[in-house]
Amino acid sequence: MTPQAHLREQICMLAKSMFDRGLTGGSTGNISARTPDGGLLVSPTGTSFGRLDPARLSRFDVNGRLVDGDPPTKELPLHAAFYDTRSTAGAVVHLHSCHAVALSMLPEVDPDDFLPPLTPYGIMKLGRVKLLPFFMPGDPAMGEAVRGLAGKRSAVMLANHGPVVAGKDIEAACNAIEELEDTAKLAMMTRGMSPRALSPDDVQALVTKFDVEWDV
């Protein structure tokens, strides 16, 4: 199996795993990854994470031209913004995961630090998550908002919509976005209970020990 064929299979396998566990439903969500030749593989528009076909993924060459496969997700500009501003981005995942969306609707959430520091893993895998305002689905302004962060965040939360995470490869991006949803779930489960979060010193120790990007 060629490296690109393996990547196609991996994208579809990881997408189906997330779909099967209820992390995104119906035809929601989109996923992309860099190919070995510098191009992109992207989930097609209107497709379900549970039924992606490796042979029908949208494939772009290094110049951004669609060379085969079905038409891509309408949120491709959102993915492109991460690739263009983060040299380490090898994959981007966007879900409509319920707990993260629910947390984005709460008035007390800090837009500059969306996830509370409840466990070390959200910090280690995501850094500080930026909450962006609501945009109409497919609005290119989502990509412009990501570009406005100048590559300083690997993860954003689209208010009332869903999280978007960039990782060094497809597995890292999927692991990180699952950690985002798990942390949001913990935040919703413990809301109003005054949970013991990690202290600022705990957070700083994690940032230092694991060399976390921590935009302030």
Residue the block writes with tokens 């491709």 = 76
Assess whether 83 carries a catalytic annotation.
no
Residue the block writes with tokens 């895998």 = 125
Which candidate, 153, 161, 14, places its Cα nearest to that of 75? 161
Specify whether the CB–CB gap between 79 and 30 falls below 8 A: yes
Catalytic residue among 25, 56, 84, 121: 121
The beta-strand segments (E) located in the chain are 30-34, 40-42, 58-60, 66-68, 91-94, 130-132, 155-158, 162-167
Q: How far apart are CA 200 and CA 114, in angstroms?
A: 15
Specify whether the CB–CB gap between 140 and 133 falls below 8 A: no
Active-site residues, by number, are 121
